[in-house]
Amino acid sequence: MPELPEVETTRCGIEPYLLGQTITGVTVRQPRLRWEVPDSIQSLVGQTVQQLTRRGKYILLHTPAGVALIHLGMSGSLRIVDATMLPRKHDHFDLLLASGNIVRYHDPRRFGALLWTADPVQQHLLLRELGPEPLEAGFDGDYLFTQSRSRTVNVKAFIMNAHIVVGVGNIYACEALFLAGIDPRRVAGRISRERYLKLANSIREILTYAIERGGTTLRDFVREDGSPGYFQLELKVYGRADEPCRVCQTPIRHLTQGQRSTWFCPVCQH
């Protein structure tokens, strides 16, 4: 599933093609995505794109009339293509631009979304209860420590909870916990403030570096220009079961937590 760095990489990639552009048409070939694409999405037609932002894993396309919310789901991607390029199978919607370019959404599993709101976007049902952005003010170790008190869930599930902090998906949770030296099985409420300070810094460091390197290449994800990201080549624990730890050479362990795979080093993380 595309995580925060993949979504931010996509946002940055398509932003130059969208800002200041007028949307001349919206073509929806498959409205049955995670949620039905609303007829109100046609409100985009004739609107000029003022801003392109991200909240969690949602790309927000701001216009004078309202905001379109785009989610990439598990396998979705956005491309900038020429208007003469014929759609492929699983190309579910196009945003036609006055420049002659098209923003095209491709999603084999149809778990993504295209939604519309004319109300303040931060009050949207899908956004209003989200936690802080991990790369912005309001997120730090003191915040994590305060939120973790009396929590009995494991620390990995805790930092993956979007109500606590947005955008820390499975890959980056595993990598941040390794960098912070924290065992993912530890109970969230029993971790010290000092260790949460280190974990918050590790989350920011991992996410920032992944964005700089173009996100993580998964089976279904490539960058908006069609080239793969590169961060996967440097993963320390994720997907490396039984391979030697890059620090201590101990075999990386794998387990399942809450139906999600977890990888960690039993020596470096405690």
Q: Is 3 marked active-site? A: yes
Asked if 171 and 235 touch (Cβ cutoff 8 Å), the reply is yes
| Dist. CA 85–CA 160, nearest whole Å | 39
Say which of 185, 186, 195, 260 is annotated catalytic.
Answer: 260
The token pair that represents 237 in the structure block? 């624990």
Nearest-angstrom CA–CA distance, 60 and 222: 20
* Catalytic residue, candidates 57, 223, 236, 240: 57
State whether the Cα torsion 26-5-125-260 is positive or negative.
positive
> Catalytic: which of 3, 6, 8, 224?
3
Name the residue among 97, 93, 100 with its Cα closest to residue 114.
Answer: 93
Q: Is 260 a catalytic residue?
A: yes
Catalytically annotated residues: 2-3, 57, 260
